[in-house]
């Protein structure tokens, strides 16, 4: 959906309130495909690419080197956006206008990236026997193996049920605890075999691969993905100038529910229901720009089957009542 992302973000970049050098945040840089599209479409803009994965940063930096100082990368979990922007302003990498104007657009393409799925040694894919790692940032301490080998039965069941919507969460947790007493879990192949043996055959015949929900749940727990998302939305929204556009791409229902709830709250007036007029200072600061959640077209899915579950939600700032300016200390 590259063209659609450019169209949506472009509404903020080309808005009347955008500065001469607008800033776009690509909060999930990956291999740099979306950043490249933004750089090509908006030659007057600066793109800040965030990613916690140093491998992704290295690949994107190489890919986008030809854009010079119009592209800036920064290693952080995406809810570290304020720290990243403040640091880049302090270094003089981002323009002084950031202090007053904020950003003109952002995109967060949530979940695991195609690049990470295609690196078997990272342990994200259940189709290949690999170490049970699943860390987006390899320097983070928690791995999927540690969860399976150290979490209690109740904690494992909760993760599988909450983050994977796994019907057999308790049964799988019991099997994991029983098997780890014999030998700690290290590789994904053994976990996949356990899931095949634990989930009833009738249930395995529908709903996709029987390991899909468990691997999703473990990945979300390892990377604190939902916690990061909940922290991110109020943070990034404060950086948007009037007319700026924000876009989220979600691939599973837990992400989309968090995004939907937050955007509805941001776009709802605080005036008590039933009053005949809007109370001063109570108007909504943001406006939804997509009708519900947009989906990929059939043609897009045919080109890239991984686009099938995507849900796109966009919003823009319409009032500067709650906008935050982030000035740094001015040297005397």
Binding-site residues from annotation for S-adenosyl-L-methionine? 32-34, 51, 78, 109, 116
C-beta atoms surrounding 199 within 10 Å: 21
Comparing CA positions, the residue from 31, 86, 88, 78 lying closest to residue 57 is: 31
Angle at 10 between CA 5 and CA 15, to 5 degrees: 150
The phi and psi torsions of 223 (rounded to 5 degrees) equal -100, 5
Cα dist from 9 to 12, 38, 99, 211, whole Å: 6, 8, 21, 36
Block residue for tokens 């202090």: 99
Q: For residue 90, what are the CA distances in angstroms to 12, 26, 160?
A: 24, 20, 42
Q: Which residues contact 236 (CB under 8 A, 6 or more apart)?
A: 25, 27, 81, 106, 108, 246
DSSP state of 130: -
- Contact predicate 243/15, CB 8 Å: yes
Contact yes or no for 198/170 (Cβ under 8 A): no
Sequence-separated contacts (24+) of 304-309 with Cβ below 8 Å:
306/114, 307/1, 309/251, 309/252
Cβ proximity of 102 and 244 under 8 Å: yes
Question: Which positions make up the binding site?
Answer: 32-34, 51, 78, 109, 116
Joined together, the tokens standing for residue 315 give 């919003």
Q: Which two tokens stand for residue 278?
A: 């809007």
């Amino acid at each position: 959906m590259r063209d659609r992302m450019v169209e949506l973000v472009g509404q903020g970049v080309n808005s009347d309130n955008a500065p001469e050098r607008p800033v776009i945040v690509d909060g999930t840089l990956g291999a740099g495909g979306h950043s490249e599209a933004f750089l090509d479409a908006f030659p007057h803009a600066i793109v800040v690419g965030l990613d916690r994965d140093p491998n992704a940063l290295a690949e994107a930096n190489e890919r986008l080197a030809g854009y010079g100082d119009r592209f800036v990368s920064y290693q952080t979990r995406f809810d570290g956006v304020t720290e990243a922007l403040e640091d880049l302003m302090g270094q003089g990498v981002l323009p002084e206008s950031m202090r007053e104007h904020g950003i003109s657009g952002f995109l967060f393409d949530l979940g695991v990236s195609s690049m990470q799925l295609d690196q078997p040694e990272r342990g994200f894919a259940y189709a290949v026997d690999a170490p049970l790692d699943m860390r987006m940032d390899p320097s983070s301490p928690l791995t999927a193996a540690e969860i399976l080998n150290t979490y209690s039965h109740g904690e494992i069941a909760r993760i599988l049920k909450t983050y994977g919507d796994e019907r057999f969460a308790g049964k799988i947790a019991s099997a994991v605890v029983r098997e780890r007493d014999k030998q700690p879990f290290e590789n994904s192949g053994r976990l996949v075999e356990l899931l095949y043996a634990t989930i009833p055959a009738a249930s395995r015949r529908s709903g996709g691969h029987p390991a899909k929900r468990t691997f999703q749940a473990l990945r979300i727990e390892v990377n604190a993905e939902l916690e990061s998302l909940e922290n991110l939305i109020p943070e990034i929204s404060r950086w948007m100038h009037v007319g700026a556009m924000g876009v989220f791409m979600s691939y599973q229902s837990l992400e989309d529910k968090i995004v939907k709830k937050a955007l509805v709250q941001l776009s709802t007036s605080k005036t008590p229901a039933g009053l005949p007029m809007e109370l001063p200072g109570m108007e909504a600061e943001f406006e939804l720009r997509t009708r519900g959640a947009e989906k990929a077209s059939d043609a897009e899915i045919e080109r890239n089957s991984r686009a099938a579950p995507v849900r796109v939600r966009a919003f823009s700032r319409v009032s500067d009542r709650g906008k935050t300016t982030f000035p740094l200390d001015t040297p005397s």
